[in-house]
A and B are shown apart, each in its own frame.
Chain A
């Protein structure tokens, strides 16, 4: 019996090539996309599950609720929390201050050394995370050095043929003096699926004052992890420890509370944290892409059901004959299911092949390797095969039941007796298919339009032709460097600044100031310290008052020299230091009078400049003050370049740099590129949306093409009669097309409100966002209709120009 099924299925498949190709191509595309997305999603979900204690490892997240309308959460916390918690609470078994960082070491042949991604931690890391040691005794901490534990990959890359354990390397820091690193061991490669993705461990003991938790409520912040007793209740511990913390601070009004974030949640669930490290994903992307992939597969399955059902009209006679010859209904169902299975099997094999070719480009697109690949993992491959089998059975059951349920007496005459007459299900499937296509198209357009808006929005300064030399410690050489820099051809101005566009924060310091409209509330205020050319270099415009003036000695402070005299001296000087502020700042604090002290604000505003976006456009613009510091020890240099001379200026600046700072690495970026990079995730989202919408439209069009083909075939006689009765070719083509176009229009109608809801929800991520205009719905709708018409017209025109004698005779 099975042999007979295979034979019939194969012969049917090979004889009806157009039908088979449409089905196989559709299913292959759907399955491949689904497999790729499933791989990425599984990989995303597997982050940090490889650690033995992953269920019990938590990162301390600080929560700042001082601004009522904007609770802020960030992954750094008081460095003293870990040690104090370990001492006070039995739930805490261990703590470790660590983060995903990087270090530039003098190694290899490049004079700028090699930058390595690190897990920068204290020695207790060994008690929290597990690594497989290959050589050396890295668990033993060698004092006097930063201990470096390299992975097998780094060993093979840089120390091939030598034993690296014991080798001492020097780093190339952006600021401060170079430090020595000793290689204490080799570990197996750290899997890429960790939020602490790294090539080396950088282990260093912390200074004793790191362990102190100041009662005054200030201190150093760092990322730190706790290892909790697996039996302890996390919510109870959070409650207990927060209560203790509130009582610990002297003012009894803690600015920060904390919450615990399990290490497994860090990668995907940290988008709401400011200052998340270099390795991060987004659970929303997981949802979006899972959804899109399922929709893709759904569309491919709809095509299959639609085409198979339409084709059933041609197969019912065969089913009738088989029934006459003794086939039972169940045997017919099994036969037709078997045929579905064959289609899925071929598509699955093709899909897996395509998948194995595409996995590498996907890794390049993601920017990191994927740990779990379906074709290399027996368990995953088995699970996927079972899932495909289930999908194929679910997909195949409707056409199979439909064909086998017919009365053989009628089917032998080629007539259907049930189910397919009005084609309700088929029509419903076409509607849902085009709804999905339009939904994805609208999504693509919304992401595209928002990205365009982010690119063209006036930020309050000119982002073009603005070079940024990355932060270094200038060692007192900045005035001379700047003097020579501004004399270079093509350089308009330059400014040494503690802030630069796209740096991830809005300034070098924030203060929480009483909200003048609600004294119980606090507002976040940014401070930027820069030299006197900052306003000119950024191309800000003065709206009121005066700019900071280098000839007025009171306008600039030298923070470093004041700090040497004591913090109180610096604080005192800053209280009266002249500052600039933005329009929004003046409005927020209701400052009408310049040169006057404002309650709660450090410094005296002397001038108002235009508003500018000092943070990403995802965030609301906040009050910002700019003050002058003529001798910043550490910071970056912003260089305003004359349009058209970027290349020449860069080369000249590089040469100057080599002369002035031969030991420092020359690191630069163009501001417009950095700002675009801020929306890297959105760019990727947009690229994927374009790809998905392309795939989905192709699938929908393929399905519609096949369906029209069958529909026209079934209406062949009707077309002949219409022609005999005098119908014109365009008239017939329109009659045949309208049935489908109506369904496509209904699909658009259903998709539009859903798309509007999803788009509005997604745009909520941006403080600065586009309005959803009517054309965002009209354009994708028109594209869908145009594609549908193009697909249908090929068949309908062919049918309409056929000789009616032929169709009437065929009866």
Chain B
């Protein structure tokens, strides 16, 4: 049975986001309200352009909302400046992307080590933690390889290792299996499930009904609004 805590981790209310050019204004999020509890595994689904990635970016504090409220762990963060957002992000949130987003110039070990460097973890501690997490992700034997030398599945495992090495409370995954074959995709979903079972809250954007079934709850978006929520049994 999947465990969900009682405390609320995320509460967004009437969240708005617009994209403007000189002539056109596109509404990405239209007064969207969502809540996510600590330990929950939430999947966000919807057609292209419905605002899934925009929502994920705002939740990950990579982007500003244009209106509404975003409370993270009881703190209103919607209008935090970049420095505060970066600080909150590096201590609380891990990211997993469809295209892995590993840095080509760094080895597997160095890619995973990077978040620890930015949080100021001492070198010896970093080595210990990186080795631990690489071991867990069964990618230790590839520690000195560069991303281009790995398969897609291995790259995504490195990306997940990098996302969890700082022991974040929340993992945001943007179509984590989108670039993988079904076998590697399943492996990644298993890893995320394991992490969730160990207490990490996960919010995942996906097009795949199969992947969404790993979550506790599916939020379906259309035109920047919630159209339906499915609780998974």
Contacts and interface: CB of A to CB of B under 8 A. Distances in A.
B125 to A, nearest CB: 15
A12 B105 contact: yes
Interface in B70-115: 82-83, 86-87, 89-91, 95, 97, 101-106, 110, 114-115
B7 interface: no
Contacts of B57: 409
A324 B95 CA distance: 7
B119 A326 contact: yes
A326 B62 contact: no
A328 B105 CA distance: 20
A8 interface: yes
B115 A326 contact: yes
A4 B86 CA distance: 19
A231 interface: no
A286 to B, nearest CB: 45
Contacts of B197: none
B63 interface: yes
Contacts of A15: 105
Contacts of A325: 90, 95, 114-115, 118, 162
Q: Which residue, A7, A320, A412, has most C-beta atoms of chain B within 10 A? A: A412
A11 B105 contact: yes
Interface centre among A324, A325, A326, A408 (most CB of B within 10 A): A325
B62 A408 contact: yes
Interface of A: 1, 4, 7-8, 11-12, 15, 317-318, 320-329, 331, 407-409, 412
Given A324-B95, A325-B115, A331-B118, A318 B103 contact: yes
A320 B162 CA distance: 15
B117 A1 contact: yes
Interface residues of B, number: 28
Contacts of A329: 82-83, 86
Most buried by B among A8, A317, A326: A326
A329 B90 CA distance: 13
Contacts of A322: 103, 114, 118
A2 to B, nearest CB: 10
B106 A7 contact: yes
A407 B105 contact: no
Contact of A4 (B82, B110, B119): B110
Interface string B41-62: 0000000000000100100101
Contacts of B60: 324
20 contacts: A7-B106, A11-B105, A318-B104, A322-B103, A322-B118, A323-B62, A325-B90, A325-B114, A325-B162, A326-B86, A326-B119, A327-B86, A328-B83, A328-B86, A329-B82, A407-B63, A408-B62, A409-B57, A409-B63, A412-B62
A324 B89 contact: yes
Given A326-B90, A328-B83, A321 B101 contact: yes
A15 B97 CA distance: 25
B62 A7 contact: no
Contacts of B54: 409
Interface centre among B57, B62, B82, by most chain A C-beta atoms within 10 angstroms, is: B62
Contacts of B87: 328
Nearest to A414: B99
